[in-house]
């Protein structure tokens, strides 16, 4: 069985990584719907923990295609990208839509899920990259 999630490390801070996700979504036809500060929400209820934010992203065209094929596809929307700290490193992680589509066989969701996955992996990878200025000659 495939992994459910794709995770990369970055040298960016948690907030820098979240900002990079916001910046990189548009180039792939996605937009940020909401950012949840999960650590703050848990702390309010007496469960303090290390920082973790969930960035909800969506591409309206792909979402519409999936819902036309099967309304239960709404269970995988919007696409979450988690940003958290683990062992002193910032991680960016997303669920793999192709794996979730496998849980809904016979509904013709696989192709669109793979397209969404391709874009999500690009957003995650680009958001983790360090932008290093080129030296001036």
DSSP symbols for 59-90 = -HHHHHHHHHH-GGGGGG-SEEEEEEEETTEE
For residue 54, give the H/E element and its range: strand 52-58
Q: Tens digits of per-residue pLDDT, 74-101?
A: 888 899 999 999 998 999 999 998 887 7
pTM, 2 dp = 0.89
Residue 136 placed within a domain = no
Residue 12 placed within a domain = yes
Residue 135 placed within a domain = no
Q: Tens digits of per-residue pLDDT, 28-75?
A: 999 999 999 999 999 999 999 999 999 999 999 999 998 998 888 888
CATH code (residue 41): 3.30.310.70
Residue 47 belongs to what domain range?
5-128
Residue of 90, 28, 10 whose CA lies nearest to 53: 90
Domain count along the chain:
1
- Tokens, residue 97: 């839509």
CA dihedral 38, 53, 72, 121 (to 10 degrees): -160
Residue 83 placed within a domain = yes
Residue 15 placed within a domain = yes
Q: Which residue has the tokens 């983790």?
A: 128
């Amino acid at each position: 069985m495939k992994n459910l999630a794709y995770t990369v490390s970055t040298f960016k801070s948690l907030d820098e990584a979240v900002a990079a996700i916001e910046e990189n979504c548009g180039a792939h036809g996605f937009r940020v719907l909401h950012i949840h500060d999960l650590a703050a929400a848990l702390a309010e209820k007496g469960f303090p923990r290390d920082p973790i934010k969930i960035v909800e992203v969506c591409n309206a065209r792909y979402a519409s295609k999936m819902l036309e094929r099967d309304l239960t596809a709404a269970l995988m929307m919007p696409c979450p990208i988690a940003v958290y700290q683990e062992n002193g490193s910032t991680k960016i992680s997303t669920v793999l839509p192709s794996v979730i589509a496998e849980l809904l066989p016979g509904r013709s969701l696989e192709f669109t899920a793979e397209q969404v996955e391709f874009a999500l992996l690009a957003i995650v990878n680009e958001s983790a990259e360090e932008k290093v200025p080129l030296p001036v000659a």
